Amino acid sequence: MSYIDGFVMAVADANREAFIAHANTFDPLFIEFGATRVLECWGDDVPDGKQTDFRRAVQAKDGESVVFAWVEWPDKATRDAGMEKFMQDPRIQASGEMPFDGKRMIYGGFSPVLELTKR
């Protein structure tokens, strides 16, 4: 079964196009290093919760949107090797500033326990 890296971050609304350009530049590297799919999703229906929510999780401020993204890999071994290549790639090292505050990004790796598809 596949392996998923998930990411949630706050991005200033004014940086939306810069964020998309950043994703278009660097997300193809995930594919180059073995990922099968990458999605970057700009929040447009992210409600405030009573105890916790996506906005609080990344300390989103007024004028920021929540971005939810994931990278799908064929398996964890491919992900581990691909992420190592990604983090060491000189194109990443030379990328400069990200169009979001990386300190407020949450991320993790996940092993699927159920997958449903429409056939």
pLDDT tens column, 31-82: 999 999 999 999 999 999 999 999 999 999 999 999 999 999 999 999 999 9
* 77: exposed, middle or buried (Cβ count in 10 Å: 0-12, 13-18, 19+): exposed
Residue 81 has a pLDDT of 98
Task: Outline where the chain has alpha helix (H).
Answer: 16-32, 54-57, 76-88, 90-93
34 backbone φψ class: left, alpha, beta (φ>0; ψ -120 to 50): left
Rounded percentage of the chain residues whose pLDDT exceeds 90: 90
Residue 51 has a pLDDT of 94
pLDDT tens column, 83-95: 999 999 998 877 7
